[in-house]
Amino acid sequence: MKFLLKQLATAIVAITLFNCSVEQLDSRSEENAQDTSETLSSFTCSTGVCGARLTNNGTLSVDLAIYDHNNMLLFEELNIASGGGATTWQSFPTGRISYTVTTPATSLFKTVVIDMADCMVYDMEVAENNMLVTDQPTLQD
C-alpha cells in the first residue's frame, strides 16, 4: 500500500509538471518597454515635475480630476470619450497626488493617491470592463 501511494504521488507531480507551460518573459518585457517609451515620448521630464494621463478603453465616458496634497485641483477633464479617448500628458509639481476617475453615468469612482517624485509618470487606463487599471507609476529616464 505504501508503494502504491508513492507511485500515485509521483504520477500526480509528473502530470502537473508536464501540463505546465513556459512563457517567454524576455520578449514580453521588451514589448512593454517599447510601448512605455513610445507613450512617454511626449512627456518632458524636469526637476520638480511629474506627470499623468488617462486612456479610456471602456464603454462609458469618464472624468479625471487630479489634486495635490492640499486638495487643490491641478487638472480636470470631463467626458473623456469611451473606446480609446485620452487626455494629453499633464505636468504638475511633485508630491502627494490624488487621481480621481469617475464614471458619471453610474456614479462609480476610484481615487488613487501616489507620492510622485521627479520625472515620475502615471499612465492610467480604463479597461474594456470600465474598471481602472492601476499600474504603478514609472520613472522616465
Mean pLDDT, rounded, for 113-134: 89
Domain that holds residue 101: 2-139
pTM over 0.85: no
What is the average pLDDT value for the chain, to the nearest integer? 78
Percent of the chain with pLDDT over 70: 69
Give the separation between CA 134 and CA 55, rounded to whole angstroms.
12
Type of residue at 92: F
Greater confidence (62 vs 109) lies with 62
- Report the candidate in 120, 51, 121, 64 with the shortest Cα–Cα distance to residue 91: 51
Domain count, the chain: 1
CATH of residue 55: 2.60.40.10
pLDDT at 62: 94
